[in-house]
Amino acid sequence: MSVDLKIKIGSMEMKNPVTVASGTFGYGPEYADLVDLNRLGAITVKGISPEEHIGNPTPRTFETRGGMLNAIGLPGPGAQGFIEKYVPFLKQYDVPVIVNIWGKGMEDYGTVVEMLDAEDTVSAYEINLSCPNVKEGGSAFGTDTDSFSRVVELVRGKTQKPIIPKLAPNVSDIGAFAKAAENCGADAIAIMNSYPAMAINIDTLKPELANRSGGLSGPAIKPIAIKLVWDVAKATKLPIIGMGGIFEPEDAIEFMIAGATSVAVGTANFVDPTTVGRVIDGIEKYLVEKGHRSVADIIGTVKA
Amino acid sequence: MSVDLKIKIGSMEMKNPVTVASGTFGYGPEYADLVDLNRLGAITVKGISPEEHIGNPTPRTFETRGGMLNAIGLPGPGAQGFIEKYVPFLKQYDVPVIVNIWGKGMEDYGTVVEMLDAEDTVSAYEINLSCPNVKEGGSAFGTDTDSFSRVVELVRGKTQKPIIPKLAPNVSDIGAFAKAAENCGADAIAIMNSYPAMAINIDTLKPELANRSGGLSGPAIKPIAIKLVWDVAKATKLPIIGMGGIFEPEDAIEFMIAGATSVAVGTANFVDPTTVGRVIDGIEKYLVEKGHRSVADIIGTVKA
Amino acid sequence: MKQEKATVLEHHNFQGEYRILRLAAPSIGSLVKPGQFIHLQIPQLGDRILRRPFSIYKADAEGVSILYKPVGRGTESMTPLTPGSLVDIIGPLGNGYPEAGKGKLPVLVAGGYGNAALYLKAKQLKTKGVAFFGGRTAEDILCVEEFKELGWDVRPTTNDGSLGIEGLVTDAFDPWLQEQDIPALELFVCGPNPMLKAMGDRAIEHGFTAWLSMDENMACGVGACLTCVIKRKTDDGWEWARCCKDGPVFESREIIWEE
Amino acid sequence: MKQEKATVLEHHNFQGEYRILRLAAPSIGSLVKPGQFIHLQIPQLGDRILRRPFSIYKADAEGVSILYKPVGRGTESMTPLTPGSLVDIIGPLGNGYPEAGKGKLPVLVAGGYGNAALYLKAKQLKTKGVAFFGGRTAEDILCVEEFKELGWDVRPTTNDGSLGIEGLVTDAFDPWLQEQDIPALELFVCGPNPMLKAMGDRAIEHGFTAWLSMDENMACGVGACLTCVIKRKTDDGWEWARCCKDGPVFESREIIWEE
Ligand SMILES: Cc1cc2nc3c(=O)[nH]c(=O)nc-3n(C[C@H](O)[C@H](O)[C@H](O)COP(=O)(O)OP(=O)(O)OC[C@H]3O[C@@H](n4cnc5c(N)ncnc54)[C@H](O)[C@@H]3O)c2cc1C
Ligand SMILES: Cc1cc2nc3c(=O)[nH]c(=O)nc-3n(C[C@H](O)[C@H](O)[C@H](O)COP(=O)(O)OP(=O)(O)OC[C@H]3O[C@@H](n4cnc5c(N)ncnc54)[C@H](O)[C@@H]3O)c2cc1C
Ligand SMILES: Cc1cc2nc3c(=O)[nH]c(=O)nc-3n(C[C@H](O)[C@H](O)[C@H](O)COP(=O)(O)O)c2cc1C
Ligand SMILES: Cc1cc2nc3c(=O)[nH]c(=O)nc-3n(C[C@H](O)[C@H](O)[C@H](O)COP(=O)(O)O)c2cc1C
Ligand code: FES
Ligand code: FES
């Protein structure tokens, strides 16, 4: 008996719950030789702002125990560059594209949507309100509910497509942000971004990242992400895209049981590009073994 | 040429910067066969409240990638029980004792200090405002600067001994709490407690901890702790007791370069009880190799 | 209690899925009492960090041996250990089994690695009574010959009848119990929780002594972290007792079983 | 670009501290161009998770070989690999060296694993010119005989004079340069950053072509994470170029060196 892997994020249909975490999969072409992009539930591309952006100096990443630090600083071609360089490529595939958007100032969030919204290839927007690595904007908006709400409302006003605020993990009450997102008309919540962190070289006394601090990702943070997803699931009815250290199918299933409708594979892409495929297969296998009909049968079923 | 490892936390002198993290070393006797307690800069004991407390049901801990979850729930003999059961033992050693205190309500923090303050064996108080695992009090006080300040002021009013608020990591602006602690007359800041986290068994659908969620500790969280110590060091002149994933001497040195005057070994005690000794030796070796005279020469020297 | 970097002397299959690991650990070996365990740090455990506890099967001035079965991450990553490799161990840990009571008839009840955990006690006990060993198949019942050589009357039971009586340990134990001078019995039990509970219940129901070795997940192994606690009866209710320090051996009447 | 679970065919000391690892990887081996690399997932890396890039020393329809030196966590945890073990690799990656220009005199300049990285190019080039190899001691200068057999005029330099001229590669290269038809030179360089910079500077100063293989820390290895970027000149300033995808080979004039 086959199971139904389909899910919906607002009006966006995904053939399975598995997408990739923004910034860990480029814009699509980078992994096309190794991963069958048509198998993905959705492709989430690296953060896009209205203008081209140069990002941070190097070193930009550093390996830690059970994870890695990154302070890439959101380099990117800007909305127009994205449309010219990558949309033609992405068009070829039968897979929804979630564009991760960010801005230096509040208005940017509106501008970038205005620039992208006419593209049918763009299926939804993940609003990055939680980048630990850019001085301007980024996590500033993610840690104060007022400015957070203003950004979400602004974006809501610019598009009919699903909008998915990506929450900052470093807050005391994540539920408040989830509720705020819901009140501002968001279609889903993405959680979590990498966690503000730092490593210092004890010989040079210099931070290992040129940006000094960065974001921690990978298996190390999974238990933090699971808790945040559980908290958000209790605070809102919105679908959740869960991520943070998903390396094995079991990790993805754990996120779904905690309350995630969709899951994103991030750092694991660097370690093993077959991860997304294995996760999709693993979720299906689990559902069959447990006698479920569809993914809906396991979402938020944690006995807690 | 020998180096000076001595440091001071308020009026408390430590022969070296290394203590143990509360709850990972019992009350002293547990590791006495394996660790020469007189070598420690200080012994920090498990959290004590005015009354005996039963703690959480089991399972109380769970192993994760690069760390562990705990939801012990602060079981303990209470202040009187501590004085009867453990003070006589601790008296035998020439090492300062930091008592980690907590309460179900605000008044408890004052009461427990009143009950303990007459004991010379008690050298300082670490105020646990950040336990992720007790419904009452705990982290509630740690994530709101007002109640945080009230607790610190209350404790300050009850004792001349050094008081060391232990901050909750899950806040957006840790510096604000450090400043608040300074304004309320704290002598030092301890950072960080284990991070709110969760794991779910995908077969039983039950959380792996009876308490449902718990605190993440171990190497996984070190980069988060380093960032928090760095942030606190920028916000206050108070000495910092840094902890979070210290397993090797290099980890401790990294904390000191980030701004910690003292360091605490926690989860590593479970993995290898020789860690504290190796960390003390490693710090001395590093200072000698780098041609330093005292630990003060490296505290907060990060080039950032 | 000592911590020692122990050299692997022997490591090979023992029986069925069980493997034997012999370690050179003079400072620990010489201190061992029957029913105690070591806390072993597993190299190659990768990003899992905690030690794993193992009952001491044999011990002498030279070192200790354990019997284990690869069932999970930790035990599976032990299999590559070869003679010469170093493993860090802490031990001996726990209270171990008490001296047998005067004029008592000692009875051993074990399953899985429990047989290993009882071997030293079986050897130490002057009176050799009856040993009830249970397992899924013959392969799971360890050390039968060794216990016989010590003079024990071994009564195996297997779920599939491949050795001894077909069924559970209780299927052999209960009929036997009818013919005994019950108050004189003293049980030493080590095995899966259902076996411990079954014997504990009988001890209370029929009124004999039963020492149960409890198996709880552990972190520190030395009494510091309060992970491994079980509820122990007190005059006015109950208290937590640490299996690693106050146990792992408890008398049936001390234990309050969790549902 | 392919991902393959490769079986270790050979793994032993090669020279000095360097080791050779030969892997069965048919789908990757057959695609390799000189100057490309593989991204290798190291088993036993424990709680460190990222792959490590290694230049391809030799490649054929059967698989690939790399030469490496244990210098840190990753490379040290590779040493236990034995024939038969599986390692997951992605490759061939990067652009590799371009075809040599018409009528140019090819010159190889290398240090450390750079010699390995240049071997396939040395073989492919029709004209065999001069090869300047630098290292601390004779032990660090790899494959000298192999390059000679291919017909290259090998000029080693060592800091301690244990092989060839005492000093740095530049001490052999600079005097030699004086007697050359400079515009006709085409350098293929792979080695530590100072060597790359020194040769890049000379290429610009004297006006010859120099292809430099850049060594930057990498995470994804396929162009997705933007870890491995260096500044590349553009008409109106500069842009980031990814060493793993747009490189690792760049012409000296493209590169803006960081202070
Ligand atoms: C006092 C004591 C003595 C022991 N003696 C032996 C022995 O002599 N031989 C032997 O083979 N094993 C023994 N064990 C069990 C052993 O310590 C390991 O915990 C067990 O083999 C599983 O560890 P693992 O890492 O392989 O599995 P993990 O990957 O840690 O776990 C696999 C599964 O087993 C569960 N589990 C882990 N540890 C335990 C535990 N202690 N009790 C119950 N379930 C657990 C996990 O939750 C998981 O579901 C003993 C345990 C205790 C507490
Ligand atoms: C394109 C490319 C080709 C390479 N080819 C080879 C090869 O053929 N043979 C070989 O032995 N090595 C090669 N390397 C280097 C190799 O990939 C490892 O990174 C290096 O050996 C250190 O890894 P480690 O894990 O052992 O050390 P780590 O523990 O990761 O690091 C040890 C020290 O080396 C530094 N380091 C790590 N990676 C690099 C790097 N890529 N460049 C500079 N410093 C680094 C770390 O910051 C640390 O200070 C290549 C690197 C690149 C980018
Ligand atoms: C190298 C790198 C780049 C990232 N870039 C972005 C980004 O552009 N926008 C964003 O919202 N998140 C970005 N992230 C965060 C990831 O999308 C994800 O939220 C985080 O890494 C946690 O998931 P993981 O542990 O599976 O990697 C980046 C993460 C990494 C490691
Ligand atoms: C089992 C366990 C029990 C703990 N109990 C306490 C406690 O009673 N009071 C407290 O303030 N912190 C407690 N902590 C937190 C530690 O003191 C420390 O802040 C945290 O574990 C991070 O350090 P580490 O990564 O080195 O363990 C406990 C941690 C663990 C793992
Ligand atoms: S395992 Fe820590 S108290 Fe028993
Ligand atoms: S290593 Fe990821 S882009 Fe080069």
Choose the residue to mutate in A194, A209, A279 for probing ligand 3, maximizing ligand atoms within 8 Å of C-beta.
Answer: A194
Q: What pLDDT sits at residue B2?
A: 82
pLDDT-derived band at B176 (thresholds 50, 70, 90) equals very high
Strand stretches in chain B, DSSP E? 7-9, 12-14, 18-20, 43-48, 61-64, 67-70, 97-101, 122-128, 163-166, 189-191, 195-198, 213-217, 240-243, 262-265
Amino acid at A171: V
Q: What pLDDT sits at residue A105?
A: 87
Contacts of D229 in chain A (CB under 8 A): 58, 60, 75
Q: How far apart are CA B258 and CA A183, in angstroms?
A: 40
> For residue A75, which of A3, A31, A23 has the smallest C-alpha distance?
A23
> For residue A249, which of A216, A272, A231 has the smallest C-alpha distance?
A272
Q: How far apart are CA B64 and CA B217, in angstroms?
A: 9
Choose the residue to mutate in C95, C113, C193, C211 for probing ligand 1, maximizing ligand atoms within 8 Å of C-beta.
Answer: C113
Strand stretches in D50-204, DSSP E? 52-55, 58-59, 63-68, 86-93, 105-111, 130-135, 153-158, 165-166, 185-190
pLDDT-derived band at B140 (thresholds 50, 70, 90) equals low
pLDDT-derived band at A81 (thresholds 50, 70, 90) equals very high
Q: Which regions in chain D score pLDDT beneath 50? A: none
Question: Could you read off the pLDDT of A27-37 as tens digits, one per residue?
Answer: 999 999 999 99
Question: How far, in Å, are A73, A136, A166, A212, B92 from residue A55 at the CA level?
Answer: 4, 12, 20, 14, 58
Element (H, E) at A100: strand A97-101
Q: Tokens 């926690």 sit at which residue?
A: B266
Q: Is C11 in the pocket of ligand 5 (CB under 6 A)?
A: no
Please, what is the average pLDDT of chain A? 95
The ligand 6 atom at the shortest distance from the C-alpha of residue D226 is 3
Choose the residue to mutate in D49, D214, D220 for probing ligand 6, maximizing ligand atoms within 8 Å of C-beta.
Answer: D220
Amino acid at C208: F
Q: How far apart are CA C245 and CA C1, in angstroms?
A: 11
Q: How far apart are CA A242 and CA A226, in angstroms?
A: 8
Active-site residue set of B: 131
Q: Is B123 in the pocket of ligand 4 (CB under 6 A)?
A: no
> For residue A153, which of A128, A183, A193, A126 has the smallest C-alpha distance?
A183
ipTM tops 0.90: yes
Contacts of C47 in chain A (CB under 8 A): 65-66, 219
Q: How far apart are CA C213 and CA D95, in angstroms?
A: 64
**In angstroms, what separates the C-alpha of B145 from chain A's closest C-alpha?**
12
Q: Do A23 and D225 touch (CB under 8 A)?
A: yes
Question: Could you read off the pLDDT of C182-232 as tens digits, one per residue?
Answer: 899 999 999 999 999 999 999 999 999 999 999 999 999 999 999 999 999
Q: What pLDDT sits at residue D175?
A: 94
CB-based contact, B67 to chain D, within 8 Å: no
Active-site residue set of A: 131
Question: Could you read off the pLDDT of A222-261 as tens digits, one per residue?
Answer: 999 999 999 999 999 999 999 999 999 999 999 999 999 9
* Stretch A118-146: mean pLDDT: 80
Q: 3-class DSSP state for residue D247?
A: coil
If you write DSSP's letter for every residue of B218-274 in order, what string do you get? Answer: SGGGHHHHHHHHHHHHHH--S-EEEESS--SHHHHHHHHHHT-SEEEE-THHHH-TT
- Long-range pairs for A148-152: beta carbons < 8 A, 24 or more residues apart: A148/A177, A148/A180, A148/A181, A149/A180, A149/A183, A149/A184, A150/A106, A151/A106, A151/A109, A151/A127, A152/A127, A152/A180, A152/A181, A152/A184, A152/A185, A152/A186
| Helices marked H in A93-248 | 106-116, 139-142, 145-156, 174-183, 222-235
> For residue B295, which of B2, B10, B7, B8 has the smallest C-alpha distance?
B7
Residues in D lying within 8 Å of B, measured between beta carbons: 47
Question: Could you read off the pLDDT of C21-52 as tens digits, one per residue?
Answer: 999 999 999 999 999 999 999 988 888 899 99
Residue D41's DSSP bridge partners are D88
Omega before D183 within 30 of 0, i.e. cis:
no
Residue C222 Cα to ligand 5 midpoint, Å, equals 6
Whether B166 contacts B128, CB under 8 Å:
yes
If you write DSSP's letter for every residue of A18-63 in order, what string do you get? Answer: EEE-TTSSTTSGGGTTTS-GGGSS-EEEEEE-SS-B--PPSP-EEE
Q: Is C214 in the pocket of ligand 5 (CB under 6 A)?
A: no
**In angstroms, what separates the C-alpha of D72 from chain C's closest C-alpha?**
17
For residue B228, which phi and psi values (nearest 5 degrees)? -65, -40
Q: Do A34 and D240 touch (CB under 8 A)?
A: no
Q: How far apart are CA A119 and CA A126, in angstroms?
A: 15
> For residue B240, which of B260, B264, B266, B263 has the smallest C-alpha distance?
B260
Dihedral angle computed from the Cα positions of residues B168, B174, B175 and B179, in that order, rounded to the nearest 10 degrees? -30
D residues 22-61 closer than 8 Å to C (CB): 44, 46-47
Whether B61 contacts B204, CB under 8 Å:
no
CB-based contact, B24 to chain A, within 8 Å: no
If you write DSSP's letter for every residue of A66-94 in order, what string do you get? Answer: TEEEE-----B-HHHHHHHHTHHHHHTSS
Q: What pLDDT sits at residue D44?
A: 82
Q: Do B72 and C226 touch (CB under 8 A)?
A: yes
Amino acid at B253: I
**pTM here?**
0.96
Amino acid at A255: F
Q: What pLDDT sits at residue B132?
A: 64
Nearest-5° Cα angle at C120, C115 to C122:
70
D259 CA to centre of own chain: 23
Give buried/exposed letters for D173-205 (b at 16+ CB in 10 A, else e). Answer: beeeeeeeeeeebbbbbbbeeebbebbbebbee
Q: Is C224 in the pocket of ligand 5 (CB under 6 A)?
A: yes
Whether B243 contacts B191, CB under 8 Å:
yes
pLDDT-derived band at B136 (thresholds 50, 70, 90) equals low
The ligand 1 atom at the shortest distance from the C-alpha of residue C75 is 26
Contacts of D47 in chain B (CB under 8 A): 65-66, 219
What share of chain C has pLDDT > 90, as a percent?
A: 91
